[in-house]
Amino acid sequence: MEHPFARFIQILGKGQRGARDLTQQEAEQAMAMILAGQTEAMQLGAFLMLMRVKEETPAELAGFVSAARASLTLPQELPTVALDWAAYAGKRRQLPWFVLSALLLASHRIPVLMHGLRGGISDRVYAPQALAALGITPSGSIVEAAEGIRQRHFAFVPIDVLSADLDYILGLKPILGLRSPVHTIVRMLNPFAAQAAVMGIFHPGYDETHQQAAALLGDHSMAVFKGEGGEAERNPDAACKVRMVLAGAVQEEEWPALFDSRHIKDDSMDVARLGSLWRDEAEDEYGLAAVLSTAAIALRTLGRAQDMASAQALAAELWATRDIGYLTGAAH
């Protein structure tokens, strides 16, 4: 008898004339089977690579994300999270300044849940490395992440803690040689059902796919943009198109460059400089601009500012009034 999952491979793989996209419902069913362990290994590989060749549609992504969210095992009582922050790319040209943007919001009692990879490609600096330099360790469980939100309004939870199945598929990239739709799915996971979410992309076109999928899912508010290194971090050296869903309304904004000339690549990538900037022990023109302009996009997404200028001004105000001792407390 034909395997129940075979029909999804047939839909995608019947050649140029016979193949078609999955519907949102079909995509949800397919991903639910994958995450429930109801597929053979060769089926999983075939499905992922067929999807990679054609690239996922917004409807397919929405279906995949619905199934991924439904697959999570979560405590009944979770703290309220204002902002979900995906951090999966790692940085190789500039430090992960976005970590300070998230902590800036958290220090002003805006709860932020960050999730992502523990590490990966050797020449990149990932969020956990940056957080460790600031005295913050990844949560070892979802319960621990929830407690971090309650106590210090911030937690980083690795994807392997959230979902061993999603983490396993992400780990297939070195074997398959290509990214898969799961690299897109995890950015939209929003495990604690935050009111708003921010995510960065690297490959062109995925910003629109994320935005349209969020609209199909009925997500309240989100922002996605081509971030520095693929993370949700504004590059202040360049103009930035931000695609958004704000209180259910789809829109986009063009954030102008903040400098006339580009800054050079950071050769040292010394994560200790993150803490130095936070504590006013060192100056960094690029770093501060990245922190504040990224925080501004987050504040705009949260509905704390009505336009780009007021969001940037509010970010600067939060920085000027931040609690320098917040990170010391976070270490405990």
Give the tens place of pLDDT for each residue, 146-195.
999 999 999 999 999 999 999 999 999 999 999 999 999 999 999 999 99
Which three-class secondary structure state does DSSP give residue 197? strand
pLDDT digits (tens, 9 = 90+) for 248-284: 999 999 999 999 999 999 999 999 999 999 999 999 9
The reported pLDDT for the residue numbered 332 is 32
At the second CATH level, the architecture of 6-71 is Up-down Bundle (1.20)
**Reported CATH class of domain 83-330:** alpha beta
Q: What is the pTM of this model?
A: 0.96
- The answer to whether residue 329 scores a pLDDT higher than 80 is no
Q: Where are the domains of the chain?
A: 6-71, 83-330
Q: What is the pLDDT of residues 94-153, one digit of tens each?
A: 999 999 999 999 999 999 999 999 998 888 999 999 999 999 999 999 999 999 999 999
Residue 83 has pLDDT above 60, yes or no: yes
**15 falls in which pLDDT band (50, 70, 90)?**
confident
Predicted confidence band of residue 331 (pLDDT cuts 50, 70, 90): very low
Size (the chain), residues: 332
DSSP states of 228-286: GGGSS---TTS-EEEEEEETTEEEEEEEPPS-SSPPPP-SS--THHHHHHHTTSS--HH
Residue with tokens 């990245």: 290
pLDDT score, position 330: 46
Distance CA(58)–CA(49), nearest Å, equals 17
Dist. CA 296–CA 313, nearest whole Å = 8
Q: Phi and psi for 209 in degrees, rounded to 5?
A: -60, -45
